[in-house]
């Protein structure tokens, strides 16, 4: 009995230990979108909810209309055939579809443009904060390399902090990412922050976000990028400001000690692009 128990526990450990070794954000509880922990994520959620409301309303109206037609057009009703090409039919169809298009798609278009201008593409808002954190992300099959400039504020120098699949940022602080790729098109996605941006070979694409809560959140690749695409998951760890600064200080000091000028593959950073 004891031997069987030992065999079972050693077999179980083969599967369980790798799970314990990998820091993974807790799965989201309940239905719906992942928990929004960002400054501007509510804008996306509002658009999704309002559009969902419109679509549900249209669905209910169509169901009632069809039910009414089924009841009214019963066996006692003489069928009245029509090709739907009369001026009246065309006018009614155009009027209804125009109202739906203008209200539902118009709302999406106008508010998306406003959201981009006021928040998601408003890099000036992020840049003007003196505490802003700048990170370069280099995507490749199948991981995310991230680089922080270190105390000298310059990228590709001795004191750069380079991490793999675990990006740390401070809470309540704008974070600007510049994304590149060494192989194929990837898409850096932060579901809890309602932001994503393509990482394209030969280009540097920016995005920014600001965390409102501390914790561990998923980083995902949102673009199918090859057979091991599923492996491109990472962790975004949001820390209190003092903890983040302590980590950055220590990580940068370690980077200086481990710096190897001849390791050219490690110096993949670029000069920070003006936004
Ligand atoms: Cu990818």
Return d(Cα 181, Cα 126) in angstroms, integer.
Answer: 23
Given this model, what pLDDT does residue 30 score?
78
Is 256 within 8 Å of 158 (Cβ atoms)?
yes
| CB environment 159-188: b (16+ within 10 A), e (fewer) | bbbbbebebbbbbebbbbbbbbbeebebbb
**What's the 248 CA to ligand 1 centre distance in angstroms?**
27
Is 193 within 8 Å of 209 (Cβ atoms)?
yes
**What's the 78 CA to ligand 1 centre distance in angstroms?**
60
**What's the 7 CA to ligand 1 centre distance in angstroms?**
39
**What's the 3 CA to ligand 1 centre distance in angstroms?**
45
In order along its 275 residues, the chain shows pLDDT tens digits of 455 655 655 555 544 444 444 556 777 777 889 999 999 999 999 999 999 999 999 999 999 999 999 898 888 888 788 888 999 999 999 999 999 999 999 999 999 999 999 999 999 999 999 999 999 999 999 999 999 999 999 999 999 999 999 999 999 999 999 999 999 999 999 999 999 999 999 999 999 999 999 999 999 999 999 999 999 999 999 999 999 999 999 999 999 999 998 998 889 999 999 87
Element of type H or E holding 250: helix 241-258
Given this model, what pLDDT does residue 32 score?
85
pTM of this structure: 0.84
What residues pair up with 203 in beta bridges, in sequence order?
none
**What's the 45 CA to ligand 1 centre distance in angstroms?**
25
Given this model, what pLDDT does residue 264 score?
86
């Amino acid at each position: 009995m004891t031997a069987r128990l030992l065999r079972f526990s050693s077999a179980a450990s083969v599967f369980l230990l790798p799970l314990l070794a990998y820091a993974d954000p807790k799965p989201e509880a309940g239905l719906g979108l992942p928990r929004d922990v960002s400054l501007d994520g509510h804008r996306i959620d509002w658009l999704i909810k309002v559009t969902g409301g419109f679509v549900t309303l249209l669905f209910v109206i169509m169901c009632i209309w069809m039910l009414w037609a089924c009841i009214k057009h019963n066996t006692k009703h003489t069928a009245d055939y029509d090709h739907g090409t009369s001026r009246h039919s065309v006018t009614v169809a155009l009027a209804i579809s125009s109202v739906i298009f203008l209200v539902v798609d118009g709302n999406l278009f106008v508010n998306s443009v406003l959201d981009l201008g006021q928040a998601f593409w408003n890099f000036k808002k992020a840049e003007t904060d003196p505490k802003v954190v700048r990170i370069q992300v280099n995507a490749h099959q199948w991981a995310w390399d991230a680089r922080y400039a270190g105390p000298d504020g310059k990228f590709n120098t001795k004191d750069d902090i380079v991490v793999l699949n675990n990006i740390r940022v401070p809470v309540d602080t704008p974070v600007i990412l510049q994304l590149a790729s060494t192989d194929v098109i990837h898409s850096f996605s932060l579901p809890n922050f309602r932001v994503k941006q393509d990482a394209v070979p030969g280009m540097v694409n920016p995005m920014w976000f600001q965390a409102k809560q501390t914790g561990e959140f998923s980083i995902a690749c949102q673009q199918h990028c090859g057979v091991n695409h599923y492996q491109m998951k990472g962790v975004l760890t949001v820390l209190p400001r003092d903890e983040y600064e302590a980590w950055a200080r220590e990580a940068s000091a370690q980077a200086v000690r481990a710096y190897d000028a001849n390791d050219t593959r490690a110096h993949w950073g670029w000069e920070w692009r003006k936004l």
